[in-house]
Amino acid sequence: MSVREHDLGEIRDAVAKLCATFPMEYWRETDRERRYPTEFVRALTAAGWLSCLIPEEYGGAGLKLSAAAAILEEIQRSGANGAACHAQMYTMGTVLRHCSEAQKKKYLPKIAKGELRLQAFGITEPSAGTDTSSIRTAAVRKGDRYVVNGQKVWTSRAEHSDLMLLLARTTPREDVQKKTDGLSVLLVEMKAALGRGLTIRPIRTMINHATTEIFIDSLEVPAENLVGEDGQGFRCVLDGMNAERILIGAECIGDARWFLAKATAYANEREVFGRPIGQNQGVQFPIARAYMATEAAALMVERAAALYDAGKPCGPESNMAKQLAAEASWQAGDMCLQTHGGFGFAEEYDVERKFRETRLYQVAPISTNLVLCYLAEHVLGLPRSY
C-alpha cells in the first residue's frame, strides 16, 4: 500500500476518530494511576496503525515514515499520549534496514497481528548517558550464543514489550580504532529472558511514561538474534535514532496544536472585566507567536521525513526537526497554561498533564544541548566541544 499526499488526510481523519473514542477522562485516569493504556494500544494495533511501517509481505501496510509521523501527530493532537506505543514505529528504522530476512519473517508478521510488541529500545546507561560509545553493557560470543552483562536505564515500556532491541559492546573499546566500532544490536525476547538474567525495575517519574531500568546478568541471547553485522551496531541504531527524532518531532507538533486549540478556545470563552480575555493583546500575542513557531517547526519535520523516506542522509534535518518541534510544543504548552491561569493547574482541564508530558522532549530522546553540539560540529564545521 503506497502513501500519497492526499492519503495523509484520510489517515489523520481515521486516527482522530479512533482517538475520540478515548475521552480525556481515560487519559486522566491512566495518568493518575500511572497505568499503561493497554486498551488504547490494543485499539491502535487492531486498526493497523502500529504496523503501518511494516511491509505488506509481512502483514503490515507498507507506509512511509511521513505516514507514521501523521499518525503520531494526530494522536497527540487529540490529547492522547502516543509515547505508550511510538517505539513500535521508530524501531522499524533499525529492523527494516538491518534485520535479516529470517528475522523479519519470524517477528514482523506477529508484530503486525499484535501477537508481539516491539516497544523497547535498550541503549542508554547510567554511566554513559547520551555518550553511546561509552556504554559498558558487554556481549561475549560463546558458541551459538552471546552472554550479556550490564545495565540500561530509561528503557521505556520494557514491562509491556515482548521484544527489545539491545545495544551492547561486543569488542572492548580499547580494542577498536573508532570508538563507535565494536557495538552490536541484539534482538532480545523479553519473556524468555525475564528471570533468566534479565530484571526490570520501574522508575516513577513526573509523567506516566512506563520507563524502567534494566539489569542484565549473564543473559544468553542466541547468536541468530544479532541484528546486522557484529561490531556495526552503531550504524544500525542511527537509522532508528533518526526515525525516532522525526517521529518525536511529529508528536511535539501534535502537542503544540492541541495547546493552541485549547488556549484559543479558552481565550474566546473566558470573560474577565466584561469581555473575552482573548480580546487583550497580552493574551493574543503569545498564542500567535506559538502558532508561528509550530508551523515553522512542522515544515522541518516534513522535510526530515521526506528525506528519510527517499533514503537520503537526514541527520541534521532529523535533529533540527526534533529540537524545533520540542521548543515549539514547550512554548505552546507554557502559553496555554498561562492563558488558563489557575485553571491550567486543575486536572480536569488536561493542560497540566500535557504540560508535563511535552516537557520531556527538551531532554529526550536527546538533550537540546547535544543537538546544538552536533550541528555546530558536523554542519557548521566548528571545533568539537565534547
Cell triple for 380: 557548521
Nearest 5 degrees, angle CA 140-CA 143-CA 144?
95
In angstroms, rounded to a whole number, what is the distance separating the alpha carbons of residues 246 and 115?
Answer: 27
Cα three-residue angle 76-370-311, rounded to 5 degrees: 65
CA distance 87 to 243: 10
The radius of gyration computed from the CA coordinates of the chain, to the nearest angstrom, equals 21
Phi-psi region of 210 (alpha: psi -120 to 50; beta: other; left: phi over 0): left
Are 64 and 202 in contact by the 8 Å Cβ rule? The answer is: no
Please tell me which residue in 73, 74, 213, 244 is annotated as part of the active site. 244
H-helix segments, 21-80:
24-33, 38-46, 65-77
Q: Find residue 220's DSSP bridge partners.
A: 147
**Cβ atoms of 197 and 219 closer than 8 Å:** yes
Confirm whether 56 is a catalytic residue. no
What sign does the dihedral 223-229-235-239 (CA atoms) show? negative
Which residues are catalytically annotated? 244
